[in-house]
Amino acid sequence: MVKDENVLTNEGMRFFGRMSATATHEIKNTLAIINESAGLLKDLSIMAEKGSPLPPARINDISRMLTRQVKRADLILKKLNRFSHSVDLSTEVADLEKTVSFVLDLASPLIEKQETAVKITAPVSPMMVTTNLFYLENMIWRAVETACCAAKEKKQVIISFGTDLTAPSIWFSMDTGKNTLMDDLFGSKEDRALMTYLDISIEKNKKNNGFGFLWPKCI
């Protein structure tokens, strides 16, 4: 049991570190653009002192670029702040679709790097589970990463939800090409610890081109 807890804690820290590193990397990029824009304004002012006319359209472009990057950095920080608060409660009621959307947004630079389009098909009604939000986000990310790696032909992953609101489920399907999904999918000790903690089981879909996470039926 203690061993499982250690596996879970280590996996949680790895996930937190990876998402934080991704967000801070993005913030560094926005700062780099702000830095270059400020530097360009300085260059233009030095040139103006030497007699070159200031180009108003260029100044306007730079101003808009600065505003855009400040907004971008603010959005990244909001995401990071929301993510940091995922650890506040040990259990809470989570909306599965909203949680999946948030994880995709948080990890968007990592997903873009894989050049895979990830799309969500919304459930007919909100699908709620009582769970630990942070580890749910962690498990969803592991699933998205696995699905992106398995998407071979058409680099696309579709995330959908089951129809039985009393037995929540999330499904990930992709074009696996000639490859079929491995039997030991989510067989690592980290996956097993997460699934046990979150009380979810895994099933392959009927076409063998995807998998689902299933929660026990609530009576």
Partner 1 sequence: MSKQNAINEISGIQAYHKFNISKKNTFEMPSRVLLVDDEKEFVLTLSERLQMRDMATAVVYNGKSALDLIHNDAPEVMIIDLKMPGIDGMEVLKKVKQTQPEIKVIVLTGHGSEQDKQKCMDLGAFAYMQKPIDINRLSETLKKAHENITADE
Number of alpha carbons in the 13 Å side-chain half-sphere of residue 1: 0
According to CB under 8 A, which one of 49, 88, 115, 183 is a site residue for partner 1? 115
Instruction: Choose between 65 and 181: whose C-beta lies nearer to partner 1.
Output: 65
Tell me if 17 contacts partner 1 by CB under 8 A: no
- Rounded CA-CA distance 111/193 in Å is 24
Tell me if 49 contacts partner 1 by CB under 8 A: no
Residue type, 136: L
According to CB under 8 A, which one of 74, 105, 112, 164 is a site residue for partner 1? 112
* Residue 11 neighbours by CB under 8 Å, 6+ apart: 138, 190, 193, 194
Q: In the bound complex, what is the minimum distance in angstroms from residue 115's beta carbon to partner 1?
A: 5
Cβ count near 122 (within 10 Å): 12
Distances (CA, A) of 209 to 66, 79, 183: 44, 31, 12
- Rounded CA-CA distance 103/143 in Å is 11
Q: In the bound complex, what is the minimum distance in angstroms from residue 134's beta carbon to partner 1?
A: 24
- Residues near partner 1 (CB under 8 A), total: 25
According to CB under 8 A, which one of 5, 6, 25, 67 is a site residue for partner 1? 25
Point out which residues bind partner 1 (CB under 8 A).
21, 25-26, 28-29, 31-37, 39-40, 43, 47, 52, 65, 68-69, 109, 112-115
